[in-house]
């Protein structure tokens, strides 16, 4: 008796790096099971790679799939095949959806209305703040924020969403390979409150060619994609290209016209992408009925726990930029506070979550 889920995993592992051969084989034999149980003589005429034909003929593909399935079980991950009812419905709609998704965390997060927020790995302070604020606003209204766990804009989007709701990270490596290293703790937090997913087998290294492939999943899981800061040649633009092919809404945040970090996003706007200044703009760009639903949704923590500030805190906050940073000593010179009083106010603002401290004692107001 055959196991359809094991068959799907075996097929996925066998043809992951040869999608053209997979399409050819399925067209010839009609099903995954038919391909995996075809006679070598029937496979020979398709021009498949010799290693694939040999693996099918010897049954090695099933042995490998069995080992992989056991490793997934031991690590506590979940395998979603495209036939599973829990497989994300939006992802099924795209050309060439992954036959198998590895998931750590809450699979329910993959079936919620989602918006992707992506951008530069080397953002400005402005871009980082905008990404975090956009993600926070969307997540607080029940929208899952999808991104790629890269340093920079991706990480800022994940962090913004985590404080208010759910987020999904799509990896360009195996989900057991923590990359990038500086986001390891962030990945753990995402898995606790959302999901970390990949189509790549366990142990797959973060090779350069994997990331453009995974970008189609970021856009495929989402109703729309927002690009926050992207250079003229950027992986985020690849994601936007996939979004167009998948009939998803493409949106972008305008940036400084003299900044290389904004050239890609500004170009998208010139070419017709929806201009986004806040979470409402992003929500309004989504298809019905999701746009209306998210815009009508009352905020969770964001409005139910409005931060109360003293007059002294408000006055200090007005001196801290949202689109840049200010050094502590420079900020102190703009006030009449004593050093202890000034530091106490800064600490209170940081604890209340209205400012961010960057390395080098640089401070920025949250948008």
**Residue 43 confidence (pLDDT):** 85
**Residue 254 confidence (pLDDT):** 94
In a domain, 3, yes or no: yes
**Residue 40 confidence (pLDDT):** 84
User: Are 166 and 279 in the same domain?
Assistant: yes
Domain boundary pick from 299, 315, 340? 299
76-170-20-37 Cα dihedral, nearest 10 degrees: 10
In a domain, 23, yes or no: yes
User: Are 220 and 282 in the same domain?
Assistant: yes
User: Are 286 and 326 in the same domain?
Assistant: no
User: Are 172 and 259 in the same domain?
Assistant: yes
**Residue 302 confidence (pLDDT):** 43
User: Are 257 and 288 in the same domain?
Assistant: yes
User: Are 228 and 355 in the same domain?
Assistant: no
Cβ-Cβ contacts under 8 Å for 273 (sequence gap 6 or more): 227, 240, 250, 251, 252
Task: Report how far residue 107's alpha carbon sits from residue 297's, in angstroms, rounded to the nearest whole number.
Answer: 23
Domain boundary pick from 272, 299, 326? 299
In a domain, 76, yes or no: no
User: Are 340 and 269 in the same domain?
Assistant: no
Question: What's the burial of 309, exposed, middle or buried (CB within 10 Å: 0-12/13-18/19+)?
Answer: middle
In a domain, 283, yes or no: yes
**Residue 299 confidence (pLDDT):** 52
Domain boundary pick from 299, 320, 339? 299
Q: Are 139 and 123 in contact (CB under 8 A)?
A: no
Q: Are 109 and 126 in contact (CB under 8 A)?
A: no
CATH number of the domain encompassing residue 313? 1.10.10.10
**Residue 305 confidence (pLDDT):** 43
User: Are 292 and 311 in the same domain?
Assistant: no
In a domain, 97, yes or no: no
**Residue 46 confidence (pLDDT):** 86
In a domain, 177, yes or no: yes
User: Are 197 and 324 in the same domain?
Assistant: no
Pull the structure tokens for residue 171: 């990896």
For the stretch 293-315, pLDDT in tens is 899 876 544 444 456 888 888 88
User: Are 230 and 318 in the same domain?
Assistant: no
Structurally, the chain folds into a number of domains equal to 3
E runs forming strands in the chain: 78-81, 100-105, 114-119, 144-147, 167-170, 195-198, 224-228, 249-253, 274-275, 326-327, 355-358, 362-365
User: Are 219 and 337 in the same domain?
Assistant: no
Cβ-Cβ contacts under 8 Å for 19 (sequence gap 6 or more): 96
CATH number of the domain encompassing residue 286? 3.40.50.450
In a domain, 277, yes or no: yes
**Residue 34 confidence (pLDDT):** 94
- Residue 131's domain comprises 107-299
Comparing CA positions, the residue from 217, 20, 25 lying closest to residue 114 is: 217
Task: Report how far residue 104's alpha carbon sits from residue 281's, in angstroms, rounded to the nearest whole number.
Answer: 31
User: Are 273 and 187 in the same domain?
Assistant: yes
**Residue 25 confidence (pLDDT):** 92
In a domain, 237, yes or no: yes
Q: Which residues, given as ranges, of the chain have pLDDT below 50?
A: 300-305
């Amino acid at each position: 008796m055959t196991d359809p889920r094991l068959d799907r995993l075996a097929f996925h592992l066998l043809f992951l790096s040869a999608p053209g051969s997979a399409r050819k084989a399925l067209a010839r034999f009609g099903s995954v099971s038919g391909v995996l149980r075809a006679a070598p003589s029937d496979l020979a005429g398709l021009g498949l790679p010799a290693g694939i034909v040999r693996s099918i003929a010897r049954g090695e593909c099933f042995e490998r799939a069995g080992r992989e399935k056991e490793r997934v079980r031991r690590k506590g991950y979940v395998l979603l095949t495209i036939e599973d009812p829990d497989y994300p419905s939006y992802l099924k709609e795209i050309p060439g959806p992954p036959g198998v998704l590895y998931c750590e965390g809450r699979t329910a997060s993959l079936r919620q209305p989602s918006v992707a927020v992506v951008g530069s790995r080397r953002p400005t302070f402005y871009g980082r703040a905008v990404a975090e604020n956009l993600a926070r606003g969307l997540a607080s209204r029940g929208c899952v924020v999808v991104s790629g766990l890269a340093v920079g804009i991706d990480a800022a989007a994940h962090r913004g969403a985590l404080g208010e709701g759910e987020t999904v990270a799509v990896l360009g490596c195996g989900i057991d390979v923590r990359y990038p290293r500086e986001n390891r703790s962030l990945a753990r937090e995402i898995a606790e409150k959302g999901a970390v997913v990949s189509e790549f087998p366990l142990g797959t290294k973060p090779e350069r060619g994997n990331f453009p492939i995974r970008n189609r999943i970021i856009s495929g899981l989402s109703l729309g994609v927002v690009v926050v800061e992207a250079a003229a040649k950027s992986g985020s633009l690849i994601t936007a290209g996939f979004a167009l092919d998948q009939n998803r809404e493409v949106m972008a945040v305008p940036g400084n016209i003299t900044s290389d970090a904004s050239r890609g996003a500004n170009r998208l706007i010139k070419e017709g992408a929806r201009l986004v200044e806040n979470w409402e703009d992003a929500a309004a760009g989504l298809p019905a009925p999701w746009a209306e639903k998210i815009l009508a949704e009352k905020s969770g923590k964001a409005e139910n726990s409005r931060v109360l500030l003293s007059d002294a805190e408000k006055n200090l906050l007005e001196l801290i930029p949202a689109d840049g940073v200010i050094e502590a000593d420079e900020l102190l010179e703009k006030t009449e506070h004593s050093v202890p009083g000034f530091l106490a106010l800064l600490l209170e603002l940081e604890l209340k979550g209205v400012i961010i401290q960057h390395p080098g004692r640089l401070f920025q107001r949250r948008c």
